[in-house]
Chains A and B, each alone.
Chain A
Amino acid sequence: DAGVTQSPTHLIKTRGQQVTLRCSPKSGHDTVSWYQQALGQGPQFIFQYYEEEERQRGNFPDRFSGHQFPNYSSELNVNALLLGDSALYLCASSLDPEGTEAFFGQGTRLTVV
């Protein structure tokens, strides 16, 4: 079992550009959540997807959007990138939305210059 896989591992973008990050959940998991982790801080919840719909959302602007595909994989899109969007973006999957245990990927390190 490959666990949660994220791509790419590192990314550099220019301010104002758009970026798409990808996540494949652990086998058998149908729920995907995304988190943003700034340097030196704990992860902050962005949103959760289940049955291809956004089910819960944290305190992030509409520039952050996502999608879940029928195979449960997910994408995180960020438009109009700001320098402050530089962070580690983590994807987590669980067996269901109420899942006791969330499995996290290694993350995508996004640098906005």
Chain B
Amino acid sequence: DAKTTQPTSMDCAEGRAANLPCNHSTISGNEYVYWYRQIHSQGPQYIIHGLKNNETNEMASLIITEDRKSSTLILPHATLRDTAVYYCIVRVADSWGKLQFGAGTQVVVTP
């Protein structure tokens, strides 16, 4: 699986959009981009995933560049409850098993 690079931390004001970048320059054609987050003292939570088209669900939007070497997770209206570590992961869908977590981005939403 390809590896990802994320900023260590970022702050966001409550009510504003949070834009979380992720670089995955060695991603293969059959690898998807997944995002999970982990709120303190909880297990990771699935947010969204995509292959090459932009995706949106009730939690977030995922924007993938045309060359697929990077992506951005957008939390449209950040709340204090969005404070968490956000992990960007690439994996082959329809493949067995593991998620390879990196260190993630610590996002702190401030009032």
Contact = CB atoms under 8 A, between A and B. Distances in A.
A106 interface: yes
A44 B49 CA distance: 20
B96 A107 contact: no
Given A42-B102, A42-B104, A45-B99, A102 B94 contact: no
A105 B43 contact: yes
Contacts of B95: 98
Contacts of B100: 45
A68 interface: no
Indicate the size class of the contact surface on chain B.
20 to 34
Nearest to A109: B41
A109 to B, nearest CB: 9
Contact of B44 (A44, A48, A90): A90
A90 B45 CA distance: 12
Contact of A48 (B49, B96, B102): B96
B49 A41 contact: no
Contact of B49 (A55, A56, A100, A107): A100
Interface in B92-110: 93-104
A106 B46 CA distance: 14
Given A104-B45, A106-B42, A45 B97 contact: yes
Interface in B21-52: 41-46, 49
B86 to A, nearest CB: 11
B69 to A, nearest CB: 21
Interface in B62-111: 85, 87, 93-104
Interface string A90-112: 10100001101111111100000
B98 A98 contact: no
A106 B104 CA distance: 18
Nearest to A56: B97
B98 A48 contact: yes
A92 B43 contact: yes
